[in-house]
A and B are shown apart, each in its own frame.
Chain A
Amino acid sequence: MASRGGGRGRGRGQLTFNVEAVGIGKGDALPPPTLQPSPLFPPLEFRPVPLPSGEEGEYVLALKQELRGAMRQLPYFIRPAVPKRDVERYSDKYQMSGPIDNAIDWNPDWRRLPRELKIRVRKLQKERITILLPKRPPKTTEDKEETIQKLEKKEEEVTSEEDEEKEEEEEKEEEEEEEYDEEEHEEETDYIMSYFDNGEDFGGDSDDNMDEAIY
Chain B
Amino acid sequence: MTQAEIKLCSLLLQEHFGEIVEKIGVHLIRTGSQPLRVIAHDTGTSLDQVKKALCVLVQHNLVSYQVHKRGVVEYEAQCSRVLRMLRYPRYIYTTKTLYSDTGELIVEELLLNGKLTMSAVVKKVADRLTETMEDGKTMDYAEVSNTFVRLADTHFVQRCPSVPTTENSDPGPPPPAPTLVINEKDMYLVPKLSLIGKGKRRRSSDEDAAGEPKAKRPKYTTDNKEIFRSLPVGYNISKQVLDQYLTLLADDPLEFVGKSGDSGGGMYVINLHKALASLATATLESVVQERFGSRCARIFRLVLQKKHIEQKQVEDFAMIPAKEAKDMLYKMLSENFMSLQEIPKTPDHAPSRTFYLYTVNILSAARMLLHRCYKSIANLIERRQFETKENKRLLEKSQRVEAIIASMQATGAEEAQLQEIEEMITAPERQQLETLKRNVNKLDASEIQVDETIFLLESYIECTMKRQ
Binding site for B on A (CB under 8 A): 3, 16-18, 21-23, 45-46, 48-49, 51-52, 56-57, 59-61, 63-65, 67-68, 70-72, 74, 76-80, 101-102, 104, 108, 111-119, 153-154, 157, 183, 187
Q: Give the most central of B162, B177, B408: most A CB within 10 Å.
A: B177
Binding site for A on B (CB under 8 A): 15-21, 36, 47-49, 51-56, 58-60, 65, 67, 73, 88-90, 92-93, 108, 111-114, 160, 162-163, 174, 176-178, 180, 290-293, 311, 322, 326, 329, 350-352, 354, 356, 404, 407-408, 441-442, 444-449
By the criterion CB–CB under 8 Å, are B18 and A61 in contact? no
By the criterion CB–CB under 8 Å, are B177 and A114 in contact? yes
The answer for the CA separation of A160 and B292 in the assembled complex, in Å, is: 61
A51-B445, A68-B16, A76-B113 given; 7 more Cβ-contact pairs under 8 Å = A48-B290, A52-B445, A60-B93, A64-B447, A102-B48, A111-B178, A117-B51
Chain A positions within 8 Å of B176 at CB level:
114-116
Question: Nearest A residue to B16 by beta-carbon distance?
Answer: A71
Chain A positions within 8 Å of B113 at CB level:
74, 76
Known contacts being A51-B445, A102-B48, A104-B55, is A17 close to B407, with CB within 8 Å? no
By the criterion CB–CB under 8 Å, are A60 and B56 in contact? no
By the criterion CB–CB under 8 Å, are A112 and B180 in contact? yes
Question: Nearest B residue to A118 by beta-carbon distance?
Answer: B51
CB < 8 Å A-B pair total: 139
The answer for the CA separation of A75 and B111 in the assembled complex, in Å, is: 14
By the criterion CB–CB under 8 Å, are A78 and B73 in contact? no
30 pairs of residues in contact across A and B, judged by CB atoms under 8 Å = A17-B350, A17-B351, A17-B352, A21-B354, A46-B290, A51-B446, A57-B445, A59-B93, A60-B90, A64-B89, A64-B448, A67-B92, A68-B16, A71-B112, A74-B113, A76-B56, A77-B16, A77-B18, A78-B17, A78-B18, A78-B20, A80-B18, A102-B48, A104-B55, A111-B178, A115-B174, A115-B177, A116-B51, A116-B177, A157-B404
Q: Within the complex, what minimum Cβ distance (angstroms) separates B218 from chain A?
A: 32
Known contacts being A79-B18, A154-B404, is A60 close to B89, with CB within 8 Å? yes
User: In the complex, which of the residues A49, A102, A113, A153 contacts B55, with contact meaning CB atoms closer than 8 Å?
Assistant: A113
By the criterion CB–CB under 8 Å, are A113 and B56 in contact? no
Chain A positions within 8 Å of B445 at CB level:
51-52, 57, 61
Chain A positions within 8 Å of B444 at CB level:
61, 64-65
The answer for the CA separation of A108 and B112 in the assembled complex, in Å, is: 14
Q: Within the complex, what minimum Cβ distance (angstroms) separates A18 from chain B?
A: 4
Chain B positions within 8 Å of A67 at CB level:
88-89, 92, 108, 111-112
Chain B positions within 8 Å of A102 at CB level:
48
Chain B positions within 8 Å of A187 at CB level:
47
By the criterion CB–CB under 8 Å, are A74 and B112 in contact? yes
Known contacts being A76-B56, A113-B55, is A63 close to B407, with CB within 8 Å? no
Q: Within the complex, what minimum Cβ distance (angstroms) separates A96 from chain B?
A: 14
The answer for the CA separation of A166 and B329 in the assembled complex, in Å, is: 67
The answer for the CA separation of A3 and B54 in the assembled complex, in Å, is: 62
By the criterion CB–CB under 8 Å, are B89 and A117 in contact? no
Question: Nearest A residue to B35 by beta-carbon distance?
Answer: A116
Q: Within the complex, what minimum Cβ distance (angstroms) separates A173 from chain B?
A: 17
The answer for the CA separation of A99 and B303 in the assembled complex, in Å, is: 59
Q: Within the complex, what minimum Cβ distance (angstroms) separates B342 from chain A?
A: 10
By the criterion CB–CB under 8 Å, are A63 and B17 in contact? no
Chain A positions within 8 Å of B92 at CB level:
63, 67
User: In the complex, which of the residues B59, B311, B326, B350 contacts A108, with contact meaning CB atoms closer than 8 Å?
Assistant: B59
Q: Give the most central of A59, A116, A153: most B CB within 10 Å.
A: A116
Q: Within the complex, what minimum Cβ distance (angstroms) separates A40 from chain B?
A: 12
Q: Give the most central of B49, B55, B445: most A CB within 10 Å.
A: B55
Q: Within the complex, what minimum Cβ distance (angstroms) separates A146 from chain B?
A: 14
Q: Within the complex, what minimum Cβ distance (angstroms) separates B119 from chain A?
A: 13
Known contacts being A17-B352, A57-B445, A114-B176, is A78 close to B52, with CB within 8 Å? yes
Chain B positions within 8 Å of A113 at CB level:
55, 58, 177-178
By the criterion CB–CB under 8 Å, are A61 and B19 in contact? no
By the criterion CB–CB under 8 Å, are B90 and A104 in contact? no
Q: Give the most central of A48, A51, A59, A114: most B CB within 10 Å.
A: A114
Known contacts being A51-B446, A104-B55, is A22 close to B352, with CB within 8 Å? no
Question: Nearest A residue to B74 by beta-carbon distance?
Answer: A114
Chain A positions within 8 Å of B180 at CB level:
112
The answer for the CA separation of A116 and B67 in the assembled complex, in Å, is: 12
User: In the complex, which of the residues A21, A104, A118, A119 contacts B352, with contact meaning CB atoms closer than 8 Å?
Assistant: A21
By the criterion CB–CB under 8 Å, are B163 and A46 in contact? no
Task: List 5 A-B pairs, minimum CB-CB distance, nearest first.
Answer: A17-B351, A114-B177, A18-B352, A63-B89, A64-B89
Chain A positions within 8 Å of B67 at CB level:
114
By the criterion CB–CB under 8 Å, are B322 and A114 in contact? no
User: In the complex, which of the residues A70, A74, A80 contacts B20, with contact meaning CB atoms closer than 8 Å?
Assistant: A80
